[in-house]
Amino acid sequence: MKQFEIPAYYRSPIISKVKQQRKMQDPRKKDFTPTRLDFGTVEFLIARHFGFCYGVENAIEISYKAIHENPDKKIYLLSQMIHNPGVNEDLQSYGIEFIQDTHGHQLIPWDKIKAEDVVIIPAFGTTLETEEILTKIGVNVQAYNTTCPFVEKVWNRSEKLGSDQHTIIIHGKADHEETRATFSHSSQNAPSIVIKDILEAAYLCQIILGQRPAEDFYTLFEGKFTEGFDVSKDLAKIGVVNQTTMLATETQEITDMLRNAMIEKYGEITIKEHIADTRDTLCYATNDNQSATYGLMENDADLAIVVGGSNSSNTTHLVELLDNKFKTFFITSAENIWDVTEVESFDIHEKTWKQHDSFLPVEKEKMTIAITSGASCPDAIVDGVIQKILELLGVEKGISEVI
């Protein structure tokens, strides 16, 4: 695996050592049990896999390379590099400006961008329409294109499916940068539709099976399908791809549901003519992080902490999983921890920050805390959370001794 050059302050004294030990013990990533760090009064269960993935480290390396190689040029990011406020704020501290927000709304008019400017394409990729605008301006869009290779893999798979006359069904969030980019690419080759979850998959199955009138499709999926989509013929041969940060289990559940609907309509014998096998589009990092989260859930803990950006899709899904077993706090950094009892946590259902006055179970002789983070969260931030808790609890046992 390639080693990336990223700023040293994204690394960490605790997590880096933990990850190095696990890599030596389990080089093939077969063991998803968490690492235990026992400090006496508190024990941390650290997920086997979490934090920066290949695509994120690649994007960060290219972004800082752009800064260092162009000291006298105006540098823009098309939108947030990744969904982590600390990383984005650091890039902005170097003078980088965002052209769009995460929903694609314009922050800087296109006519302000000059041919000699540097524009960094974020890890999520971008739409073909945006690439065309930048190319017409004269910007070299490939010079600092940080699109994740696994996102491009989905695009390539979509192109192949389209060439085989499949309609592309994208499991993703329609307003997410990656899904917008994937939809733009898939639309060039095939009819395409974005579905958000298993409920929308069920609606689609009902339409395929004639259990709902075809007209319902255009209402239920308004704004999420390609122009000219014809329900009478475009749902006869399909292939499912996903936004790489979605729950892998949900993507598979959606695929299985659609497959069963196609079998019911067309029969088992000809099923390969009606739905493609697309399991190979799932991102390895998303799979590993989610599997490691299931590994955390096989243990007992007093609470769980998930660290990452509140608008991070992959991080939100980790919270969803842990919420099923633990009292889970979703925080951005140690700054959200005010003291042993008070914490500010993001509510993924109401999309708001909430204050809690029952954070750590200080009445216990020993507490256990499960902890993980999203793929866009630097290890140093997770370190900061652990160190903040140790400091608040007055733990004297040294980190090097525990590791």
Same fold yes or no, 8-53+285-402 and 150-282: yes
pLDDT of res. 167: 97
Strands 343-347 and 352-356, bridge-based pairing: antiparallel
Amino acid at 39: F
CATH class of 54-137: alpha beta
- Average pLDDT for 378-397: 92
Residue 403: which H helix or E strand, with range?
none
Q: Which of 10-24, 193-207, 224-238, 336-350 has the lowest mean pLDDT?
A: 10-24
245-276 pLDDT, tens digit per residue, is 888 888 889 999 999 999 999 999 999 999 99
Query: 334: which DSSP letter?
Result: G
| Per annotation, catalytic residue among 57, 131, 178, 200 | 178
Q: How far is CA 68 from CA 56, 73, 80, 87, 148, in A?
A: 19, 10, 19, 16, 21
- Cα–Cα distance between 372 and 304 in angstroms, integer? 8
Whether 212 has a pLDDT exceeding 80, the answer reads yes
Q: What is the pLDDT of residue 85?
A: 83
Tally the C-alpha atoms within 13 A of residue 377's C-alpha that lie toward its C-beta: 33
68 Cβ neighbours under 8 A, 6+ residues apart: none
**What is the residue extent of each domain of the chain?**
8-53+285-402, 54-137, 150-282
Check residues 367 and 397 and name the one with the higher pLDDT.
367
Taking only the tens place, the pLDDT of each residue in 151-196 is 999 999 999 999 999 999 999 999 999 999 999 999 998 999 999 9
For residue 2, what pLDDT is reported?
A: 54
What's the CA gap between 249 and 326, in Å, rounded?
20
Residue 9 half-sphere exposure toward CB, CA atoms < 13 A: 3
Q: In degrees, to the nearest 5, what angle opens at C-alpha 144 toward C-alphas 140 and 149?
A: 120
Please give the residue that has the higher pLDDT: either 249 or 114: 114
Residue with the larger pLDDT of the pair 31 and 396: 31
Long-range pairs for 66-73: beta carbons < 8 A, 24 or more residues apart: 66/118, 66/120, 66/143, 66/144, 67/91, 67/94, 67/96, 70/118, 73/116, 73/117, 73/118
Q: Are 257 and 198 a contacting pair, CB within 8 Å?
A: yes
Question: Please, which residues have CB within 8 angstroms of residue 346's CB and are 6 or more apart in sequence?
Answer: 310, 330, 331, 332, 352, 353, 354
178 is catalytic: yes
Q: CA 250, CA 256: separation in Å to the nearest integer? A: 10
State yes or no: pLDDT of 52 exceeds 50.
yes
Token output for 287: 């799979």
Q: Which residue has the higher pLDDT, 161 or 8?
A: 161
Amino acid identity, position 94: Y
Distance CA 22, CA 76 (A): 38
Position 299 confidence tier, pLDDT thresholds 50, 70, 90: very high
Q: Which fold, 150-282?
A: Cobalt-precorrin-4 Transmethylase; domain 1 (3.40.1010)
Task: Output the pLDDT for position 279.
Answer: 66
pLDDT at 14 over 90: no
Class of domain 8-53+285-402: alpha beta
Q: Let me know how long the chain is.
A: 403
Mean pLDDT score across all residues of the chain: 91
Contacts of 198 (CB under 8 A, 6+ apart): 250, 253, 254, 257
Phi-psi region of 27 (alpha: psi -120 to 50; beta: other; left: phi over 0): alpha
Does residue 3 have a pLDDT over 60? no
pLDDT in tens, 324-345: 999 999 999 999 999 999 999 9
Is pLDDT at 1 greater than 50 in this prediction?
no
pLDDT in tens, 121-149: 999 999 999 999 999 999 999 999 999 99
**Percent of the chain scoring above 70 in pLDDT:** 97
Q: What is the token pair recorded at 272?
A: 């390969």
The arithmetic mean of pLDDT across residues 45-55, rounded, is 89
* 390 compared with 285, residue with greater pLDDT: 390
